[in-house]
Amino acid sequence: MEWGRVMIGETDINAILKSQPPTRSAMAPAAIALANLSFSYPDKPNVLHDLNLDIHQGERVGIVGYNGCGKTTLFMLVCGVLTPSTGSVALLGEPVAPGRFRPDIGLVFQNPDDQLFSATVWEDVAFAPENMGLSPEEVEARVRSAMQLTGTEALHQRPPHHLSGGEKRMVAIAGVLAMLPQVMIYDEPTANLDLRARRRLIRFLQSSPQTFLTSSHDLEFILEVCDRVIVLNEGRIAADGDPAQVMRDRVLMEASGLEVPHSLTHTHRSEP
Amino acid sequence: MRLELDEYAYLDSPIHRWDARAKLIGLLAIITSFAFVEQLQYVPAMLGVTVVIYALSRLPVSFLTTRLRYPGIFILGVVGLLPFLSGSTVLWSWGFLSLRQEGVMAAALVVGRFFSILTLGLVLFGTTPFIAQVRAMRSLGLPGILADMLLLTYRYLFVLLEMLTTMRRAMRLRGFSFHPSRFNLQDLQRLASLMGTLFIRSYEQSQRIYTAMRLRGYGALPHRHITPVAQRQAGDVLWHRFGLMLALLTSAGFLIADGLWSGVAS
């Protein structure tokens, strides 16, 4: 199988996946806009409380907070899996209707085993384009392109459940990229990754042109890939701003159940 | 007992090269005709056909023995008493035990049918990747939702087994050991909570999988286009047709012969 430039007629799929997002302007709608968003589970009230947030196109936003502070719930609301208790979510200027399929947003789950269900890697990556009713040629082009970008071409015939953790993560990302989403959401993408796979993921995200939102307990990872961080605490936004600036604030971080990342502490142990 | 049925699906043999749809129809026809065989004299022919097909498939003998072990024990448990309980013609007797001809014949028929049908079933599922098998069923009219359910069940069965193995290992490492001879109510409660936890975890995982599928457009279109199975070579088409015809003739042969014999006997 050849893995070169992927064309459909006059359209270069690789170029679409690698293209830069539109620059922020007064006219361009926010990639994600939350207005007075609140959410409660029947047994857990106020998981998210009155969130107001605009994420602009091209931004790379990290969401940090302790376990159970509402990060995954927020992602599910943005994708339309959950219905807000009050308030609204808009994606690229269009309200998110719960349950409606939106190929312009992709969610990469925390556990790739929840996402990789097909018999081979190729079939898994083809799952979304096939659901979108694309022609077999376009499905193939999108699969090739997504696998090229994530470096998973060599795995195309392997069953997903036989892959390593890092490989599964990249295949899961390829499966979502094949929809050509404009906004990507990564839920704890560094969970269970070894150092090499984590570094590969960081390089991939640093070169990724999409607007993205990622949650992680790995604050060094957030520092490396995000240009904005949001600290969630008890369902509210405790801070929003430049990652290094926000995460250097020890009082804020400790009040939010977090720690200042090691690289920002400026304390170096001397070698014995 | 091993579950991974298609681990040898990538071997090269005439049965592996046989088109999945033709194979499904052909082998199912033979299996059905074997299920209707009631005359003992056809059991050697049935076993002969089974052995020839298994040999043609080039599947290792260990593939068959490991998978037949537990069902074999079950069937032997079921028919083991037949030769001693069923019939009136005593062949041999020792004290209160009497070996009866009719019982021996019935047991031989059941065991012969069981071996042939299970072996052919293993050939059917062992020589075609499961995904191709489900696609073949779908192209023969299986509803899409059932095909998807089959695929997901097969895929996640292994995940659940892995989960169960890990949980059992964790229990053992904390001192739990299950001995049927020292079985007590507390052990039963612990095993019940293990199964309950597995059930809840599998339910939660199924919800997450369904969410992941919906987010990638599952159900957005009424009919999903599926990437076609690789194009077959022209030379193979003859074999697919010939194989199917042979299988259908074999199946018809068994049905007719058994029916004729039953007619003559009555």
Contact A132, B220 (CB under 8 A): yes
Q: Across residues A240-245, what is the average pLDDT?
A: 96
- Interchain CB contact of B222 with A (< 8 Å): no
pLDDT of residue B154: 80
Identify the structural domains of chain A with CATH numbers, from first to last. 8-17+24-264 (3.40.50.300)
Q: B96 versus A42: which is more confidently predicted?
A: A42
Pick A131's closest partner by Cβ from B158, B220, B228: B220
Please name the residue of chain A whose CA is at the shortest distance from the CA of residue B208.
A114
Q: A148 versus B84: which is more confidently predicted?
A: A148
pLDDT of residue A270: 46
| pLDDT tens figures, A156-215 | 988 888 899 899 999 999 999 999 999 999 999 998 888 998 999 999 999 988 899 999
Name the nearest CA neighbour of A95 among A103, A87, A210.
Answer: A87
Q: A135 versus A269: which is more confidently predicted?
A: A135
Alpha-carbon gap, residue B187 to B185, rounded angstroms: 5
| Phi and psi angles of residue A186, each rounded to the nearest 5 degrees, phi first | -115, 115
pLDDT of residue B258: 79
pLDDT of residue A146: 93
Count Cβ atoms within 10 A of the Cβ of residue A100 and give its class: 0-12 exposed, 13-18 middle, 19 or more buried: exposed
pLDDT of residue A4: 55
Pick B227's closest partner by Cβ from A76, A126, A132: A126
pLDDT of residue B147: 84
pLDDT of residue B231: 44
Count Cβ atoms within 10 A of the Cβ of residue A251 and give its class: 0-12 exposed, 13-18 middle, 19 or more buried: exposed
Judging contacts by C-beta atoms under 8 Å, the chain B residues touching residue A76 are 211
Residues pairing with A228 in the sheet: A61
Residues pairing with B178 in the sheet: none
Please name the residue of chain A whose CA is at the shortest distance from the CA of residue B132.
A119
CB pairs under 8 A between A and B: 84
Interface of A with B (CB under 8 A): 76, 79, 81, 99, 101, 103, 106-107, 109, 111, 113-115, 117-120, 123, 126-128, 130-134, 136, 139-140, 161, 175-176, 179
Residues pairing with B92 in the sheet: B99
pLDDT of residue A16: 60
Indicate the pLDDT class of residue B1, thresholds 50, 70 and 90. Answer: very low
Indicate the pLDDT class of residue B118, thresholds 50, 70 and 90. Answer: very high
The answer to whether the Cβ–Cβ distance between B216 and A175 falls below 8 Å is yes
Q: Please give the C-alpha separations between residue A243 and each of A62, A63, B103, in angstroms, as whole numbers.
A: 8, 10, 81
Judging contacts by C-beta atoms under 8 Å, the chain B residues touching residue A126 are 227
Please name the residue of chain B whose CA is at the shortest distance from the CA of residue A176.
B216
pLDDT of residue B165: 86
Q: Is the pLDDT of residue B213 over 80?
A: yes
3-state secondary structure chain B: CCCCCCCCCCCCCHHHHCCHHHHHHHHHHHHHHHHHCCCHHHHHHHHHHHHHHHHHHCCCHHHHHHHHHHHHHHHHHHHCCHHHHCCCCEEEEECCEEEEHHHHHHHHHHHHHHHHHHHHHHHHHHCCCHHHHHHHHHHCCCCHHHHHHHHHHHHHHHHHHHHHHHHHHHHHHCCCCCCHHHCCHHHHHHHHHHHHHHHHHHHHHHHHHHHHHHHCCCCCCCCCCCCCCCCCCHHHHHHHHHHHHHHHHHHHHHHHHHHHHHHHHC
DSSP H or E segment with residue A91: strand A86-91
Indicate the pLDDT class of residue A272, thresholds 50, 70 and 90. Answer: very low
**ipTM exceeds 0.90:** no
Q: Name B110's Cβ contacts closer than 8 Å, sequence gap at least 6.
A: B75, B78, B79, B82
Under DSSP, is residue A5 helix (H, G, I), strand (E, B) or coil? coil
> Amino acid identity of A211?
T
What pTM was estimated for this model as a whole?
A: 0.71
Q: Which of B149, B215, B227 to mutate to test the interface with A (most CBs of A within 10 A)?
A: B215
Q: Across residues B87-107, what is the average pLDDT?
A: 83
Judging contacts by C-beta atoms under 8 Å, the chain A residues touching residue B218 are 127, 131
- Interchain CB contact of B4 with A (< 8 Å): no
| pLDDT tens figures, A96-108 | 998 888 999 999 9
| pLDDT tens figures, B6-61 | 778 888 899 998 988 999 999 999 999 999 988 888 999 999 999 999 999 999 99
The mean-pLDDT minimum among A19-23, A236-240, B12-16, B69-73 falls in: A19-23
Indicate the pLDDT class of residue B94, thresholds 50, 70 and 90. Answer: confident
| pLDDT tens figures, B121-158 | 999 989 988 878 888 888 888 888 888 888 888 878 87
pLDDT of residue A53: 94
pLDDT of residue A266: 66
- Interchain CB contact of B208 with A (< 8 Å): yes
Q: Name B177's Cβ contacts closer than 8 Å, sequence gap at least 6.
A: none
- Interchain CB contact of B218 with A (< 8 Å): yes
d(CA B33, nearest CA chain A) in Å: 32
d(CA A165, nearest CA chain B) in Å: 14
pLDDT of residue A24: 52
- Interchain CB contact of B263 with A (< 8 Å): no
Count Cβ atoms within 10 A of the Cβ of residue B72 and give its class: 0-12 exposed, 13-18 middle, 19 or more buried: middle
Q: Name B201's Cβ contacts closer than 8 Å, sequence gap at least 6.
A: B163
pLDDT of residue A76: 94
d(CA A125, nearest CA chain B) in Å: 10
Q: How many other C-beta atoms lie within 10 A of the C-beta of residue A148?
A: 18
d(CA B212, nearest CA chain A) in Å: 6
Judging contacts by C-beta atoms under 8 Å, the chain B residues touching residue A130 are 224-227
Q: What is the token pair recorded at A121?
A: 């890697």
Q: Which of A113, A137, A139, A187 to mutate to test the interface with B (most CBs of B within 10 A)?
A: A113
Alpha-carbon gap, residue A233 to A239, rounded angstroms: 9
The answer to whether the Cβ–Cβ distance between B212 and A128 falls below 8 Å is no
Distance from CA of residue B68 to its chain's centroid? 9
The answer to whether the Cβ–Cβ distance between A117 and B228 falls below 8 Å is no
Q: Is the pLDDT of residue B229 over 60?
A: no
Task: Enumerate the H helices of A164-217 as residue ranges.
Answer: 165-177, 195-206
pLDDT of residue B163: 86
Pick B217's closest partner by Cβ from A81, A99, A131: A131
| pLDDT tens figures, A68-82 | 899 999 999 999 999
> Amino acid identity of B190?
R
Residues pairing with A35 in the sheet: A88
